[in-house]
Each structure stands twice: as C-alpha cells, then as structure tokens.
Structure 1
Amino acid sequence: MAHTSIGFIGGGRVTRIMLGGWQRQGHLPERIVVSDPNVENLAKLQADFPSIETALNDNRAAAAQDIVFIGLHPPAFAGALDEIKASLKPTALVVSLAPKVSIAKLSAALGTDKIARLIPNAPSIVNAGYNPVAFAAGLSAAGRAVLCEWLSILGDSPEVDEAKLEAYAILTAMGPTYLWFQLYELQAVSEAFGLTPQEVSIGLEAMVKGTVQTMTTAQLSSADVMDLIPVKPLGEDEAAIKGFYHTRLEALYAKLKS
C-alpha cells in the first residue's frame, strides 16, 4: 500500500475530497498524478497537496499509475477512454467515480477487467464517508483488497450490486446536499438566539446523530417517530418539501439509469 501510485483523471471535487481524507490521516499515496483541463483546478489542488504532480490537458501520466480513478462526468467519458487505454499498465486497477457508465462498457472500451465503480460520499474528507463499490467479476481478490485498503481510510465502503449504484448516488452521494443548507440555517439562527458556536456545533451534531438513530433503531413506525415531538415549526411546509423529493429525485434517478 505504501508504494502504490494513484492517478486521477479529473481534478474536481471528488479528487479533493479523497486526497483530503487521505491527508487527514497521514496516508497520502507515495505518488499522485492528477490531470484536468482546468488550470485553476490543478492550481488549487497543488496548493492544498504540494506533493502531487499535475498535468494540464494530458491524461497519459495519470492513466499510467497503479490505481487510476476516473473522475469525469459521463458525457466526458467517451473522449477520454482511448487516451486512458493507451497508457494503462497491464496490472492497473481502474476505478470509475461516476454513475451511469457500466463496468461492461468500461471494460469493453479500456480492454481490461480490472475495474471497479465507486459512488463517493463527501464526508470522506473527514474520514466519515459511505462509499458503495461494485467490482468487475474479473478483478482478483488481491486487487479488491488493495482498493478497499485505500477506501477504508475514507470511511465505510460496502460492496454492493452494480445495479444499485445509481440509487446510492441519489441517497449517499447527493444526500448531504438535501440537508446541509437547512443545517447551516439552523446553525445561524441558533447562534442568533444566544448559543455559542461551540454549543451549537455540539448540539447540532448530537441532534442529527440521535435523529437518525431514532429512525433506525427505535422500532417505531415513521408516523410514531414523527409524533414524538408535538411542536412542528415547519409543519406547514412538509408537503411541499416531500413533493420536491419525488419530483426532483425521481426524475434525476431516471436520467441516471437511462
């Protein structure tokens, strides 16, 4: 593990999250190469992670490492796969970080069965991620173990059926975005009511953890859980918010699975 080299095709948010999680635990790979068409993305990464190598508009060096993470949006895949294929080591493990593009399609395009697909989760940056992974049938147990060792630094990485990855993209990858803006507002108003930032931080974290734990372990129906608190300040808005979950998320899931 200590001598594994890692390449990132794409230097966006997910690359920053993964590097941040590894660095936080003192486990940055010995060699990291990041390619991206945006010079600002690379400059920001270089500032935060001075030991990395960067390549502007050139995927060859990143694709020549032991583990190659492809952090491109699905529309950008087609234009990059030929260049990646030409530079891959025979022993390289390729990990796609995107929904929609299947293992079968990646294997056919890259000429290898040493492939995994990962749905990354932003809390990996603080080593609290939940990153579901699916493996190609041809990827050896040793190859899986190497990848899982790196992923374990970032949090949990359960092996799941590939067909479920898009659902996990909606649940765990995008899930924090449904909550963060509300939690930051709750943080702000709580401080305005006289609590210190530290008091808010401790109380907010405990409340969120306890809220989810009540849902999953209290052995109560959803109606009974929500009835535990009689005063619901946002109750009049619940129907509209629930509607967003169905209209927005169902449409997005259908797009990811198409």
Structure 2
Amino acid sequence: MARCLAQGLWRQGRDPARIVVADPDPGTRRALAATLGVRVTADNHDAAGAAPVWVLAVKPQVAGAVCQALAAVAATRRPLVVSIMAGTPCAQLRHWLGTDRLVRSMPNQPAAIGAGITGLYAAEALSPADRATAESLFHGAGATVWLHDEAQMAAVTAVAGSGPAYVYRLAEAMEHAARAEDLPPETARRLVVQTLLGAARLLEVGDEAPARLCERVASRGGTTEAALQVLDAGGWMPLLGRAIDAARARAQALAPPGQAPAGAAAER
C-alpha cells in the first residue's frame, strides 16, 4: 500500500526528490528509487528528521516499535502524521508519538492505478489546512471519504480495504464456471473482466440502487433469474455479510505493539 501511495504522489506530479521512503529491505529501496525516483533510506530517522508530513505505512504489529523510536523526532518536528495502519487508533498513536496532528486512513489496492478509495478520519481539533494536506496525499490514488466516527474505520477496512479481494474471488469463480462450460480460458477471462468493469461503471454513473439494476437484468423466467435463485438459495448475501463482519472484527482485534524492524515514509 505504501508503494501505491508513492505511485499516486508521482502521478500527481509531486517532486520525487521531496519524497523520502524508509524501508529495511534493500530490494524494495532499489525498486522504488529506480521506478519513481524517490529518495530512499534504511533509517526511519533519516526520512522523518526534516519532514513536515509523515506517512506511517507499517504493519500494525510493528507500529509500537516504529513510533516509539520516532517519538523524540515527533516532539521536535511536530509533523502531520498520516497512518494507513489497520487497527491502530488515534489514541494509541497519540500515546506513542505525543502529537495530536493525526489522520487515520484506509486506502485500497486499486489505488495503484489511481482507481482506489480511501477512508479518512481525524479529530475535530485538526485544522482545515492539515485536513486538506492529508487528503491531497491520496488524490493520485482515487476518491476519498471522511468519517465522523473513528469506530467506522474498521468497517471501511472490511468493505473497501479488503473489498477488492471479494471481487477477485468472484472473478475467479466466474472464470472457473465459464471454463467448465467449455469456453476457452482467454475468452472466459475477457468476458468476466469486462462484465465486472461494465457493471461497476453502471453503478458509478447511474443513480439506481444495486437491487434495481439487478431487477432490470433478471427478466421473469429468464436465465439471470435462474442463476440468482441458486445464489439466494445458497445464502449469497448473508454469507458475504458474515465475511465482511469477520474482516471488521479482525481489523479491531489487530494488536498494534511489535518489535520487528519496519519502514516509514515521509514527504519533505
């Protein structure tokens, strides 16, 4: 996800020389420097030392170690801190870093091509300028939505953060079924991908609810109705609801403390 965000900044035309990425893996550093032209380092302090904006793009399990090691720098710099870590609330970040200039975010994988969506949360005390700065970081990654309640971030994680995987699993099932009906693999894939793209586009540009669009496809006694009856009998919608609820519960249960080395990103 950190790479997706860096790519989004690059698409916005941000000066790559002002973007510093810290990562413990040499291969990742070389790849980012070669493809995006950003500055790279193995030292989080080097990235954060002169940066007014920090993006914490680490696993929640190592967040404690990363933040506590940067607390002294945060006290001096007073940066705007944007977190894309699941399950790590602002209160915990405030405890680790000692700053109230905090924004939580949850982008999703299509951010890599500028087609994602990011949920954002910040306390009401955060200035409008800081909110605008935080939101601008994600303009190259797609759309954004602001949340009024931090508790909603777990649901955003379950619906949007994990959501692309649900679509990929649907695509996988549709391709498998198409091949089982003797369609060539390349034909099956093209049919499935374009169908999903077109359906998503109709949802985006129209003002009709998904249920209404479904009704318009499913003529009485027709092929679509026969297929939907099978899905409904199998508990399609309740099953997906349970899956999203499981993802939400996991997002809430992720333990933030950790000891392993990890990286962070900052923009100077």
Report TM bin, short chain. 0.7 to 0.9
1:61 aligned partner:
46
The offset of 1:168, in angstroms, is: 0.3
1:217 has 2:208 as partner? yes
Gaps of at least 5 residues in structure 2 are 254-268
Q: Deviations over 1:39-90 (max 9, x none)?
A: 23223322322x212222x210222312111111211111111222222353
1:232 aligned partner:
227
The whole-number CA distance in structure 1 between the counterparts of 2:108 and 2:6 is: 13
The offset of 1:183, in angstroms, is: 2.4
Structure 1 length normalisation: TM-score? 0.77
Task: Map residues 28-39 of structure 1 onto 2, 5 A cutoff.
Answer: 28-39=15-26
The whole-number CA distance in structure 2 between the counterparts of 1:186 and 1:219 is: 19
The number of equivalent residue pairs is 242
- Partner of 1:113, secondary structure, is coil
Task: Map residues 34-183 of structure 1 onto 2, 5 A cutoff.
Answer: 34-49=21-36, 51-56=37-42, 58-64=43-49, 65-88=51-74, 89-160=76-147, 161-183=149-171
In the superposition, relative to structure 1, how do residues 254 and 219 fare at CA in structure 2: closer, same or farther (>3 Å)? closer
The amino acid of 2:170's aligned partner reads: Q
Give me the identity figure in percent: 23
The whole-number CA distance in structure 2 between the counterparts of 1:230 and 1:100 is: 40
Q: Is the Cα contact below 8 Å between 1:93 and 1:143 reproduced in 2?
A: yes
Q: Deviations over 1:185-237 (max 9, x none)?
A: 656858827759888765542133236777x6148569857845224189369
Q: Is the Cα contact below 8 Å between 1:123 and 1:129 reproduced in 2?
A: yes
The amino acid of 2:126's aligned partner reads: L
The whole-number CA distance in structure 1 between the counterparts of 2:22 and 2:210 is: 48
The whole-number CA distance in structure 2 between the counterparts of 1:149 and 1:24 is: 12
The whole-number CA distance in structure 1 between the counterparts of 2:205 and 2:123 is: 34
1:8 aligned partner:
none
The whole-number CA distance in structure 2 between the counterparts of 1:73 and 1:241 is: 32
- Partner of 1:106, secondary structure, is helix
Question: Over the residues paired in the alignment, what is the CA RMSD in angstroms?
Answer: 3.4
- Partner of 2:234, secondary structure, is helix
